[in-house]
Amino acid sequence: MKPYLAIFSSHFRALLQYRAAALAGVGTQLFFGIVRLMIFDAFYRSSTIVQPMTLDEVTTYIWLSQAFLLLTMLNPDAEVSAMIRTGNVAYEMTRPLDLYTLWFTRGFSGRAGPILLRSIPIFVIAGLFLGLRMPASVSAMLIFIVSLCGAFLVASSIVALLTISMLWTISGEGIARMAPAAIFFFSGMVIPLPLFPDWMQGLLALLPMRALIDTPLRIYLGHLTGADAFAAIAHQYFWVVAFITAGRAVLAVGVRKLVVQGG
């Protein structure tokens, strides 16, 4: 475990250095949060039908999703991609480490630092001035933290799978562009999932994307409690196991056919 922790902490520390990027991120995410809010505000004003979420809830949902935006921006790990492109991946394989765990750790640490740096200021600012409400209850808060960990793991295991797919595609451009669009839409980043039409709810509940944003947020709001919350978290961890299993299987095949680029 220790080697992976060392890699995690060195990455985490390195990424904490990028304060300017985080500051810019906070600014943009606040700005887009306000734009999204205005759109929903307009919708709610022009509609007389009772919606499945109140505007207050939508507001909190939007600010939380802005805070955790990076959980949905899932691209192949930039460092590993560069290594695969240049052939430096050779060195990764001469380490006495499990390659999957190593790449998973890289993806996880690459996300944890920036998300932490951005979410805290957004939380504070949106909580004080922009209508973000506190969690529905203390227990909602605790379960929220558990499901947030679940969301991190789902995100990292998807990143690992995307990274491994680079062994085939090398440039990764195609996947890097396709994956985020689907993830964005089905996770609740564009429209909170409860506002989707009823006929889509079954599909949305099955797909892994809701585990990234919708699940923790609705637990925070108190929409999902008790058995429902438990089922939602089970859904998250089911997908974690599924993505890790798939990633490992694909990696095993990839390593056997690996061609190290250059020299």
Between CA 95 and CA 44 the distance in angstroms is 56
Size of the site for another protein (CB under 8 A): 25
Instruction: Identify the residue among 34, 97, 190, 242 touching another protein (CB under 8 A).
Output: 97
Q: Token digits for 206?
A: 């099955």
Instruction: Identify the residue among 95, 171, 238, 245 touching another protein (CB under 8 A).
Output: 95
Nearer to another protein by Cβ, of 10 and 137: the residue is: 10
- Which 209-248 positions form the footprint of another protein (CB under 8 A)? none
Nearer to another protein by Cβ, of 226 and 262: the residue is: 262
Residue 75-94 contact track with another protein, rule CB under 8 A, x = bound: -----------xxx-xx-xx
- Which 127-146 positions form the footprint of another protein (CB under 8 A)? none
Instruction: Identify the residue among 43, 51, 73, 98 touching another protein (CB under 8 A).
Output: 98
- List Cβ neighbours of 187 (8 Å cut-off, separation of 6 or more): 71, 72, 209, 210, 212, 213, 214
Place of tokens 């709001």: 221
Between CA 93 and CA 155 the distance in angstroms is 24
Q: Is 252 in the site for another protein (CB under 8 A)?
A: no
- List Cβ neighbours of 94 (8 Å cut-off, separation of 6 or more): none
**Closest separation in Å from C-beta 10 to another protein:** 6
Residue 8-47 contact track with another protein, rule CB under 8 A, x = bound: --x---x---------------------------------
| CA separation, residue 86 to residues 91, 167, 170 (Å) | 11, 12, 10
- List Cβ neighbours of 150 (8 Å cut-off, separation of 6 or more): 211, 215, 216, 233, 236, 237, 240
Residue 75 contacts residue 179 (beta carbons within 8 Å): yes
The footprint of another protein (CB under 8 A) covers: 2-3, 5-7, 10, 14, 86-88, 90-91, 93-98, 255-256, 258-260, 262-263
